[in-house]
């Protein structure tokens, strides 16, 4: 059945002309920003729009801001913005959450690079050291706050990060950076852009990062720690002929780091990812057509030190995802647009710890969005998307089987939507009311995991930790109201938000007896599964001010987030591992001051305050390690960067994060350390 579905959906995707991100690749963001005088994005409605006029809550970080930031990677860049929680659990592992819901392996934020998904479906998470992009190659980072499943499909249930890389230009250019710092940090990166002909440009980028892990306190169950590694190499060809553009690219990424798993075990992982992508756009009098597709292969080894969760073995997972998209953007008059799109994806996982050799699904999607301007002062936007999923399994089934094979042959659908009204109240003032419904799809591990654990004598049973084919997507309803304006050179934005999440998925660590199954296969087997732990509601406010005074630019933001949860631990021995009310900071403040005289010196300083939280980790108790909540103190951290231009294209710099050595700055049970580096950046 799934084979037929695959063939039909692939044909449909190939023949029809939506995907926001597919269209986005035809856009020359740099040129549009130059002509309009502010960043431009296509990520909210599918058509290019000024960031100041969006019917959604979006942060755009430009290449210039990235170059001046003390941040060493994308999560560090994002953490200084309102509504964003960044937990740097270990030196290598970070999670980014939008408007609450902090947990390890956050599955509710979709992350894309040039429209290609880098969110990993095997576990439903993003490895931010496996993005396959060098920060020097980034044109802009876009973060859309709030559910965006109607635009992007499953897993954009709290937001989307879309990283747009630079396009090859008309002249040869080379961007490089070499840096080194304390904690064994060293990094080299280079991006080469070459015009092959007057219609074809090529790009090759590569980077290599090494740094030492943080010190783990004795109160947390530790693992042998290796040097954090993150390498990538990628290449792309861009061609343009008249109104048609085409792109072809591919890359290889490697990441090695110690991570907190969703069960809060510390474990050493090795990820290797390969990808191929292609796209084509055609510009017409009435709009544009876009076709794109990509294939990602992921090989993930868990427990590379030879053990995971007390087992003398590691896990291997191989995930392949194939996606085809087609989009049509139609101009309905001078200002109004209609976007129609289709998408098909096949996603499957092979693992030595799952129900069958292969477990996967096909998803066929159709979506539509209208962007209307009924008056000169008002914009209305509405989007709806239908995703139909077919689950399947194939190959040998691991024995003893804890589910009927037929339970893996099932289908369901979800309808997601977004709607917004934008009212201009003045030259730059605008009121925005928007909301939507988005879904987090259970990961392939949630569906298919199966790991048998021998219980100590004299217990007569074995334990199987399992996924469930019956687990359902987690829905998030959201609404927000925001007002922004500029007065006297100061731009301000205030937003109040609300989000309600149904059926948050929790890992099966020490689940309550009420949820524990005992099966006789034929001997007694205790089965513990991933499960829907309950609901939670998050609400709060975000306030942002920014401005410029002569050669100084500044911005400040404050976020208040509170969570009410209905997550019942049903008398389990340990707390449920999804506890956003405890793990999400209530108050966050960021203040940034930057100086760039345009001559020799440039400097940026960021002061960050995060209120106290509690975070999970395994404590090395005897006889068995147990999950505990660890207090993470409030923190005031200072990040800073000082640069000196030796010439127009060469800069030496020194940068540091958490210079105040605030232990809670990483919002992790492992205290944050101070990371300082210096280096050389050159553009030719």
Partner 1 sequence: MRIAPILRAATLILACAAPLRAELSVPIATRVLTFLLPAPRGPTQVAIVVAPDNAASLADAVAIERAVGGGVAVGGALVRTRRVPVTALEGLRGYRAAFVTAGLRGAHDDIAAAARRHAVVTITSDPACVQAARCVVGITSGTRVQITVNRVAARAVHARFGSAFLMLVKEI
Q: Catalog residues that contact partner 1 under the rule CB under 8 A.
A: 26-28, 31-32, 34-38, 40, 47-50, 170-171, 198, 242-243, 283-288, 329, 331, 334-335, 337, 427-428, 489, 548-550
Helix (H, G, I), strand (E, B) or coil at 99: coil
Give 42 or 179: the residue with its C-beta nearer to partner 1: 42
Please say which residue, 428 or 517, places its beta carbon nearer to partner 1. 428
> Which CB, 197 or 571, lies closer to partner 1?
197
CA distance 88 to 110: 18
Cis peptide bond upstream of 400, omega within 30? yes
Say if residue 332 is exposed, middle or buried (CB neighbours under 10 Å; 0-12, 13-18, 19+).
middle
CB of 50 to partner 1, least distance (A): 7
From the CB of 683, what's the least distance to partner 1, in Å?
16
* Cβ 140 to partner 1 shortest distance, Å: 15
17-46: burial string, b at 16+ Cβ within 10 Å, e else: bbbbbbbbbbbbbbebbeeeeebbbbbbbb
Cis peptide bond upstream of 192, omega within 30: no
DSSP single-letter state for residue 353? S
Closest CB to partner 1 among residues 198, 457: 198
Q: How far is the CB of 319 from partner 1 (least distance, A)?
A: 34
How many other CB atoms are there within 10 angstroms of residue 627's CB atom? 22
Residue 406 or 550: which CB sits closer to partner 1?
550
DSSP class per residue in 486-520: EETTEEEEEEEEEEEEEEEEE--TT--GGG-EEEE
Question: Least separation, in Å, of the C-beta of 23 and partner 1?
Answer: 9
Nearest Cα neighbor of 98 from 385, 440, 386, 430 is 440
Residue 14 DSSP class: H
Tell the smallest beta-carbon distance from residue 329 to partner 1 (Å): 8
CB closer to partner 1, 242 vs 456? 242
**C-beta of 247: minimal distance to partner 1 in Å?**
15
Which of residues 222 and 553 has its CB atom nearest to partner 1 in the complex? 553
Give the Cα separation of 416 and 47 in Å (integer). Answer: 20
Reduced to 3 states (helix: H, G, I; strand: E, B; else coil), residue 646 is coil
Give the residue among 134, 105, 442 at the shortest CA–CA distance from 269. 105
Rounded Cα gap, residues 424 and 408, in angstroms: 50
Residue pair 199/217 in contact by the 8 Å Cβ criterion: no
Look at residue 284 and give its three-state secondary structure.
strand
Rounded to a whole number of angstroms, the minimum distance from the CB of residue 36 to partner 1 is 6
Q: To the nearest whole angstrom, how small is the minimum distance from the Cβ of residue 47 to partner 1?
A: 5
CA-CA-CA-CA dihedral for 80, 118, 613, 477, to nearest 10:
100
Nearer to partner 1, 226 or 595 (CB): 595
- DSSP conformation class of 311: B
If the CB atoms of residues 460 and 489 are measured against partner 1, the closer one turns out to be 489
> 56 vs 669, which CB is nearer to partner 1?
56
**With contact defined as beta carbons under 8 Å apart, do 565 and 575 qualify?**
no
Distance between CA 220 and CA 260 in Å, rounded?
A: 11
Question: How far apart are CB 153 and partner 1 at their closest, in Å?
Answer: 23
Say how many residues make up the chain.
Answer: 684
Element (H, E) at 679: strand 675-683
* Min CB(331)–partner 1 separation in Å: 7
CB of residue 283 to partner 1, shortest distance in Å: 5
Q: Pairing state of beta strands 524-529 and 462-466?
A: parallel
* N-terminal to C-terminal alpha carbon distance within the chain: 55
Q: Which CB atom, from 34 or from 517, has the smaller least distance to partner 1?
A: 34
Which CB, 286 or 601, lies closer to partner 1? 286
């Amino acid at each position: 059945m799934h084979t037929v579905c695959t063939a039909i959906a692939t044909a449909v995707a190939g023949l029809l002309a939506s995907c926001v991100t597919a269209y986005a690749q035809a856009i020359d963001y740099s040129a549009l920003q130059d002509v309009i005088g502010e960043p431009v994005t296509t990520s909210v409605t599918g058509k290019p729009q000024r960031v100041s006029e969006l019917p959604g809550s979006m942060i755009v970080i430009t290449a210039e801001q990235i170059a001046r930031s003390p941040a060493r990677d994308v999560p560090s860049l994002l953490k200084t913005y309102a509504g964003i929680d960044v937990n740097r659990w270990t030196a290598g592992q970070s999670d980014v959450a939008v408007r609450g819901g902090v947990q390890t392996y956050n599955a509710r934020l979709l992350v894309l690079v040039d429209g290609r998904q880098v969110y990993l479906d095997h576990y439903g998470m993003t490895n931010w050291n496996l993005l396959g992009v060098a920060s020097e190659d980034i044109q802009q980072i876009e973060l859309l706050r709030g559910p965006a499943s109607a635009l992007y499909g499953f897993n954009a249930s709290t937001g989307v990060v879309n990283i747009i890389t630079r396009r090859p230009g008309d002249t040869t250019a080379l961007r490089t950076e070499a840096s080194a710092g304390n904690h064994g940090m060293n990094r080299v990166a280079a991006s080469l852009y070459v015009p092959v002909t007057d219609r074809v440009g090529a790009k090759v980028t590569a980077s290599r990062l090494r740094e030492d892990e943080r010190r783990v306190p004795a109160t947390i169950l530790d693992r042998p720690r290796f040097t954090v590694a993150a390498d990538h190499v990628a290449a792309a060809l861009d061609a343009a002929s008249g109104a048609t553009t085409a792109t072809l690219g591919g890359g290889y990424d490697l990441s090695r780091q110690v991570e907190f798993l969703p069960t809060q075990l510390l474990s050493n992982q090795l990820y290797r990812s390969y990808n191929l992508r292609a796209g084509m756009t055609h510009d017409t009098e009435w709009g544009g057509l876009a076709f794109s597709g990509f294939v990602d292969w992921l090989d993930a080894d868990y427990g590379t030190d030879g053990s995971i969760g007390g087992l003398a073995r590691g896990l291997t997972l191989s995930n392949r995802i194939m996606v085809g998209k087609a989009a049509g953007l139609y101009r309905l008059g001078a200002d109004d647009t209609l976007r129609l799109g289709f998408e098909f994806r096949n996603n499957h996982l092979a693992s030595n710890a799952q129900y069958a050799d292969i477990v996967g699904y096909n998803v066929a999607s159709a979506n539509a969005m209208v962007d209307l301007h009924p008056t000169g002062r008002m914009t209305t936007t509405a989007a709806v998307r239908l995703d139909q999923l077919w689950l399947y399994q194939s190959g040998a089934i691991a024995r003893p089987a804890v589910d009927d094979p037929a339970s893996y042959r099932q289908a369901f659908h979800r309808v997601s939507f977004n709607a917004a009204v934008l009212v201009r109240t003045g030259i730059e003032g605008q009121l925005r009311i928007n909301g939507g419904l988005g879904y987090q799809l259970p990961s392939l591990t949630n569906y298919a995991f199966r790991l048998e654990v021998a219980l100590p004598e004299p217990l007569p049973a074995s334990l199987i930790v399992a996924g469930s084919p019956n687990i359902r997507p987690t829905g998030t309803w959201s609404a927000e109201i925001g007002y922004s304006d500029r007065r006297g050179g100061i731009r301000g934005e205030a937003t109040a938000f609300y989000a309600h999440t149904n059926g948050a998925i929790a890992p099966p660590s020490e689940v309550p007896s009420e949820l524990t199954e005992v099966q006789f296969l034929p001997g007694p087997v205790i089965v513990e599964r991933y499960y829907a732990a309950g609901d939670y509601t998050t609400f709060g406010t975000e306030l942002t001010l920014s401005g410029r005074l002569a050669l100084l630019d500044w911005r400040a933001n404050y976020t208040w987030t509170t969570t009410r949860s209905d997550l019942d631990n049903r008398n389990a021995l340990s707390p449920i591992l999804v506890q956003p009310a405890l793990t999400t900071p209530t108050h966050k403040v960021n203040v940034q001051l930057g100086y760039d005289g345009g001559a020799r010196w440039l400097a940026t300083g960021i002061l960050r305050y995060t209120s106290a939280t509690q975070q999970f980790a395994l404590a090395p108790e005897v006889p068995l390690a147990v999950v505990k909540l660890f207090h993470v103190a409030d923190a005031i951290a200072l990040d800073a960067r000082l640069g000196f231009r030796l010439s127009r294209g060469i800069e030496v710099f020194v940068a540091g994060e958490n210079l105040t050595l605030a232990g809670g700055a990483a919002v992790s049970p492992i205290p944050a350390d101070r990371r300082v580096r210096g280096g050389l950046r050159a553009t030719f």
